[in-house]
Amino acid sequence: MVYKKHGMKKKYTAGEATAYISRKNARKKLQLSLADFRRLCILKGIYPREPKSRKKAGKGAASNRTYYYTKDIQFLLHEPLIERFRAHKVFLKKLKKAEGRRDWKKADQVRDTRPLYNMDHIVLERYPTFNDALRDMDDALTMIFMFARIPKSSTVHAELVANCRRIAFEWMNYCIHAQCIRKVFVSIKGYYYQVELKGETITWLVAHEFAQEHNEDVDYKVMRTFTEFYTNVASFILYKFYTEDNLKYPPIGQNDYSDDELVKRHQSDLESLTLELRKSKTVELPEDDIDELAAATGDEGLQKAIEQEKSQRAQKNIFKGCKVFISRECPRSPLAFLLRSLGAEVSWDSELYPGATFKLDDDCVTHLVIDRPTAPQKLGRQAVQPQWVFDSVNFGGLMPTNDYVPGAELPPHLSPFVKEGQYVPPDMEILQSKARGEDPGIGKDSDEEVDEESDDDAEDLEDEDEETEETAEPPAKKMAKVAIEEEKPNKPTEFKKREVKAAGRDKKEPKQDVIEAEKNKLARAAQTSKKRKRLLERIEKSERKDKGRIEKLTTKRVNIDAQKKVDVKKSKKAAKSN
Amino acid sequence: MKAQLHDIVMPEVEEPKTKRAKFSRKTKKGWKKIDISQEEAALEQKRFEEIHFGGDLSKTKDEDLFVIDRKPVKKKKELDRTCYHDKILANKSKVAAAVPVENRPESRKSILHNDNMLKRKAKIVDVARTDLSKKLTAEQILEKNKGLNNNYDLWSANTLTEKQKFIPAKHAKHLRGLEGVKAPKHMKFKPKMMEKVEKVSVAHAGASYNPDYDDHQALLLQEHNKEFKKVKSEDSYKEKAKPKNVATEEEMARESMRGLGILPDEDDDDQYETEEESTEPGFVKKPVRAEDRKDKKQRRKEKRVLAAQRAVRRKKQMAILLNQFYSIKKIKKGLREHEKELEKQKEFRKEKQEKRVPRIGVLKADMNPDQDVKLSEELVGTLRQLVPEGNVLTDRLKSFEARTMLEPRKKQKRHKQAFKTKWQQKRTFREWDEQFEKELKKEEKMES
């Protein structure tokens, strides 16, 4: 008998002991197998939580167990999916029985009764708004593009793979239509793409072709469940995107799944990435004339916004007018995706893949993307290596093709994902100026004569800059720039480089302003509250740390460059004396 | 059709044999004797026509095959400058490029190919977005969205009302805007690591397929340091795991020779041992003698002395306390410093707590997984020659674990059989075997 003393409560009947529930107990409560429980949690977005005190949560046992919120598990009890899981269990039993008896007819009948379910309500529950769902697309796309690649197996069903493949290419086709690609980075792992849609930046990774090996350590069941959910979310998102842009969804012809040939044809059309998306309405929305709008308003802020929009529109169409033929050894789909997104027309060998639009011999071909030491020569056509496309996308302008001639040693492919305030190698500035169509006076031989020349060049450029600035930039900014320029010629070239670099890879100046404003606000608030003060201190500390690191690297670079100069001079002297 | 008929050599079609061979058709062997050359030839003919004319020749109209040449004959023929080898190698087939077929669902098992399943799926999917007052037949529903689901706007305002119709009351309870079971409030707040860790962390700039020198070196250094730390800690474990106070070989040899009188300093050792014995501390308490016992008078005196000492001490302490009144400023300063120290400690603890990775399972998540790198000599300048690194699925799993979306797990090894199976000959067989061998030997002897 346990006597309850006056004012004493039994241990572990309130607080953390009841707020958390161990995985084992949760399973008991839901009457699910571990695999089903995991599946349910993944689908519903319920994650394990760490209790503040393990001992209290474990009712005295402090071992490292997995805990969930009890409320979460109670919520799961009401999930209709559980019922379907149980039905599936019964279905499997029936199927096994029929197959065990080698009664194939019965087995086929049973197979027809496979319990189905849909998870629309879960998607809506987890993402109450469209943008909530978009925010989770990073994960979703990476998984979908991954599963679109892997071979089917006993754990990864062909249906899921086919579904992923369809969604992946529908997504790419939409991105082409929306012209939303911002960045691309070709790493040894695969391609990182970044797009901007509805104000959300979405980054995802697509592995190189033929690269993925089966990894035994990964639990495919878990990954499959994630992907299953993400395909559902993605297809809802795609429907919304397509219909909002007056496009028909699905983009390929009415799906007649009884005709295998037709399905294949449609799929290949989709995957060729040269498909014109079908419009649901014939009414064409006229593109709003920005110039008119600019002329009509006198508001300075609006003018600025219009300027930004203009430059963005120009960046969206850097490949406009280019007709690019992709050689067969180049990765077709990433190149076609990027080129088409930014306004180019693409084609390839018609034997290689369906969907080719023109031939290599056509006179209209302006560029040939080729990855061999030599390329067939033709007048009016420029042969480039694939990196030309990637760099052009990142720098927002056509790179000069002479750096990317087949067989030439390529400039480094720099990551556009480097964050603000991080160290930026000097090559970046050179490439950036090239993308702007300027002649970079940096990085050349550092002989004195050349130095003078480059200085002249720089001055010339500055003159040009000033001319363009008069129309483009507000006066205050211009003044600041002129002030910098006045200082420039006196400084050694090394320092000039640093200054430009401070602009960074990310061109997000408005964001910088916001950060600065936020900081000022904090500084003001710091005078009143201790908490704010500490927060500010912490921010400043980390900034100082970053700054120190950058300084270290830059001084290192200066030293290396100086050493190079000395070496060159020495070698020249030696050559003269010989 | 530009291809001219006389350019192409038609495959000969053999005349069918009228005489029918007599043989049994009962076995497989017999089937092979059936002459199918006729069928093969016909198929070959069909394929030939498809490749060269893009379809059945007999069905094409004459107008399609032949063109009345109305143009005047050109006097000068343009020179065809394409090389002969190019002409040979050029693709003349009129059949379109094959569509790559990968992972196509098998017809039997797939939902998409199963009409019954399709109907049922359509029912489930479509009731949500069709007007229930108009009753559609299963076929109509099927026609409306064949095999595809999710093609309706989930987030539009009127979906919800349709959804209400669709979902049975007991399940609809916890959906948005409906009464009944509500999702717990904390569902909105994801675990802190999900906010902290990036969803898709982009590879280091040095992991570019054609990296900048500085970036690449930075990545190599970073990974080197990580590896170096790992190796070092492993070494330190090994060092710690080494048994201590183990006799060296020299000591072992010395020990084995002890007592034989070979060692030069053996005598000294003995002396040392005896000395040790003599200085051994005694553990036995000395017995109290009667004359040592204190009498009452002594005890009283002792008490008095002790009380006096105590009084003096108290007095002194009071004096100190009184004196502190004059040094309040100093004390306050000390207190403030102490408080500051405490504050610092508190902050430090808080920072540490913030940095701490929550532990949600038996294993710890790998927060800083090894990056894929290419060594300097492995770098190739072109995309074509690139050998990709890494596995996306492994990365994803690690990311999920780092964000505490999944508890970290390790794949368990399958248990091997506890005992090795022993193989044994049966006794009867063994005996027979032995006897047989004996006989063999005998025979050999006889022969020799």
- Whether the Cβ atoms of residue B404 and residue B360 lie closer than 8 Å to each other: yes
- Whether the Cβ atoms of residue B95 and residue B50 lie closer than 8 Å to each other: yes
Using a CB–CB cutoff of 8 Å, tell me whether B221 touches chain A. Answer: no
Question: So what's the pLDDT on residue A173?
Answer: 93
Question: So what's the pLDDT on residue A41?
Answer: 96
Judge if A41 and A145 occupy the same domain.
Answer: no
Whether A345 is in a domain gets the answer yes
Using a CB–CB cutoff of 8 Å, tell me whether B384 touches chain A. Answer: yes
Q: Say whether pLDDT at A463 is over 50.
A: no
**Please, what sign has the CA dihedral across residues B386, B392, B395, B399?**
positive
For residue A206, list its beta bridge partners: A191
Q: Which residues of A touch B177 (CB under 8 A)?
A: none
pLDDT band at B266 (very low <50, low <70, confident <90, very high): low
Judge if A18 and A95 occupy the same domain.
Answer: no
CA distances from B267 to A509, B279, B425 (A): 89, 19, 66
Read off the pLDDT of each residue in A83-95 and give the average, rounded to a whole number: 91
Residues B330 and B324: their CA atoms lie apart, in Å, by 9
Q: Which of A79, A101, A130 is the last residue of a domain?
A: A79
Q: Say whether pLDDT at A145 is over 90.
A: yes
Residue bearing the bigger pLDDT, A11 or B174: A11
Judge if A260 and A380 occupy the same domain.
Answer: no
Weakest mean pLDDT among A95-109, A134-148, A177-191, B408-422: B408-422
Residues B138 and B39: their CA atoms lie apart, in Å, by 44
- How many CB contacts within 8 angstroms connect chain A with chain B? 288
Q: Which residues of A touch B102 (CB under 8 A)?
A: 151, 161, 165
Q: Which one of A120, A155, A550 would you mutate to disrupt binding with B, by most B Cβ within 10 Å of its Cβ?
A: A120
Q: Which residues of A touch B366 (CB under 8 A)?
A: none
Question: So what's the pLDDT on residue B105?
Answer: 47
- Nearest residue in B to A216, CA atom: B411
Judge if A138 and A225 occupy the same domain.
Answer: yes
Residues listed for chain B: 448
pLDDT > 90: percent of chain A: 37
Q: Say whether pLDDT at B44 is over 90.
A: yes
Q: Say whether pLDDT at A461 is over 70.
A: no
Question: So what's the pLDDT on residue A370?
Answer: 93
- Whether the Cβ atoms of residue A198 and residue A178 lie closer than 8 Å to each other: no
Q: Say whether pLDDT at B248 is over 70.
A: yes
Q: Which amino acid, residue A560?
A: I
**What is the dihedral angle through the alpha carbons of A519, A525, A526, A528, rounded to the nearest 10 degrees?**
180
Angle of helix A158-178 relative to helix A137-147, nearest 10 degrees? 120
Judge if A171 and A204 occupy the same domain.
Answer: yes
pLDDT tens per residue, range B221-239: 999 999 999 889 888 888 8
Using a CB–CB cutoff of 8 Å, tell me whether B167 touches chain A. Answer: yes
Q: Say whether pLDDT at A6 is over 70.
A: no
Angle (CA) B317-B321-B326 rounded to 5° is 145
Residues B276 and A511: their CA atoms lie apart, in Å, by 82
Cβ distance of B386 and A415 shorter than 8 Å: no
Read off the pLDDT of each residue in B52-58 and give the average, rounded to a whole number: 81
pLDDT tens per residue, range B377-434: 899 888 999 999 889 999 999 999 999 999 999 887 777 777 788 888 888 888 888 8
Read off the pLDDT of each residue in A547-565 and give the average, rounded to a whole number: 87
Residues A138 and B26: their CA atoms lie apart, in Å, by 64
Q: Domain of A403: which CATH number?
A: 3.40.50.10190
Q: Say whether pLDDT at B369 is over 60.
A: yes
Judge if A42 and A93 occupy the same domain.
Answer: no
Closest CA to B407 of A39, A24, A49: A49
Q: Say whether pLDDT at B373 is over 80.
A: yes
Q: Which residues of A touch B205 (CB under 8 A)?
A: 414-415, 417-418
Judge if A346 and A384 occupy the same domain.
Answer: yes
| Radius of gyration of the CA atoms of chain A, in A | 31
Can you spell out the DSSP letters for B252-265? HHHHHHTTTT-STT
Read off the pLDDT of each residue in B134-141 and give the average, rounded to a whole number: 48
Cβ distance of A50 and B358 shorter than 8 Å: yes
| Radius of gyration of the CA atoms of chain B, in A | 49
Strands A382-384 and A20-22: unpaired
- Whether the Cβ atoms of residue B91 and residue A87 lie closer than 8 Å to each other: no
Distance from CA of A95 to the nearest CA of B (A): 13
pLDDT band at A468 (very low <50, low <70, confident <90, very high): very low
- Select from A165, A250, A425 the Cβ nearest to the Cβ of B214: A425
Question: So what's the pLDDT on residue A465?
Answer: 41
- Select from B107, B381, B397 the Cβ nearest to the Cβ of A410: B381
Read off the pLDDT of each residue in A333-339 and give the average, rounded to a whole number: 94
Residues B233 and B239: their CA atoms lie apart, in Å, by 10
Judge if A107 and A57 occupy the same domain.
Answer: no
Read off the pLDDT of each residue in A550-560 and give the average, rounded to a whole number: 86
pLDDT tens per residue, range A27-78: 999 999 999 999 999 999 999 999 999 999 999 988 899 999 999 999 898 8
Can you spell out the DSSP letters for A301-370? HHHHHHHHHHHHHHHHTTTTT-EEEEPTTS-HHHHHHHHHHTT-EEEE-TTTSTT--S-TT-TT--EEE-
pLDDT tens per residue, range A403-427: 899 988 999 999 998 876 666 666 7
Read off the pLDDT of each residue in A104-121 and give the average, rounded to a whole number: 82
Question: So what's the pLDDT on residue A154?
Answer: 83
Number of domains in chain A: 5
pLDDT tens per residue, range B58-104: 888 888 788 888 887 777 777 777 788 888 887 777 777 766 555 44
Q: Say whether pLDDT at B177 is over 70.
A: no
Chain B residues 232-271 with CB within 8 Å of chain A: none
Angle (CA) B350-B355-B359 rounded to 5° is 110
Q: Which residues of A touch B376 (CB under 8 A)?
A: none
Residue bearing the bigger pLDDT, A124 or A499: A124
Judge if A354 and A436 occupy the same domain.
Answer: yes
Cβ distance of B383 and A49 shorter than 8 Å: no
Judge if A50 and A68 occupy the same domain.
Answer: yes
- Nearest residue in B to A531, CA atom: B347
Q: Which residues contact B20 (CB under 8 A, 6 or more apart)?
A: none
Q: Which residues of A touch B396 (CB under 8 A)?
A: 139, 142-143, 146, 223
Question: So what's the pLDDT on residue B290?
Answer: 82
Q: Say whether pLDDT at A138 is over 80.
A: yes
* Domain encompassing residue A95: 83-112
Cβ distance of A250 and B151 shorter than 8 Å: yes
Judge if A149 and A194 occupy the same domain.
Answer: yes
Q: Which residues of A touch B194 (CB under 8 A)?
A: 47
Tokens coding B106: 């098998």
Judge if A74 and A135 occupy the same domain.
Answer: no
Residues A151 and A132: their CA atoms lie apart, in Å, by 31
Q: Which residues of B touch A124 (CB under 8 A)?
A: 154-155, 163, 175-176
Residue bearing the bigger pLDDT, A329 or A269: A329
Using a CB–CB cutoff of 8 Å, tell me whether B121 touches chain A. Answer: yes
Question: So what's the pLDDT on residue A28?
Answer: 95
pLDDT band at A383 (very low <50, low <70, confident <90, very high): very high
Residues B11 and B31: their CA atoms lie apart, in Å, by 26
Using a CB–CB cutoff of 8 Å, tell me whether B129 touches chain A. Answer: no
The overall pTM is greater than 0.90: no
- Select from B113, B146, B154 the Cβ nearest to the Cβ of A120: B154
Order of all β-strands in the sheet with A190-197: A181-186, A190-197, A200-207
Tokens 């379809």: give the residue: B55
Chain B residues 87-116 with CB within 8 Å of chain A: 91, 96-97, 99-107, 109-114, 116
Whether A410 is in a domain gets the answer yes
Q: How many helices (H) and strands (E) does chain A have?
A: 23, 9
Question: So what's the pLDDT on residue A474?
Answer: 39
pLDDT band at A446 (very low <50, low <70, confident <90, very high): very low
Distance from CA of B207 to the nearest CA of A (A): 5
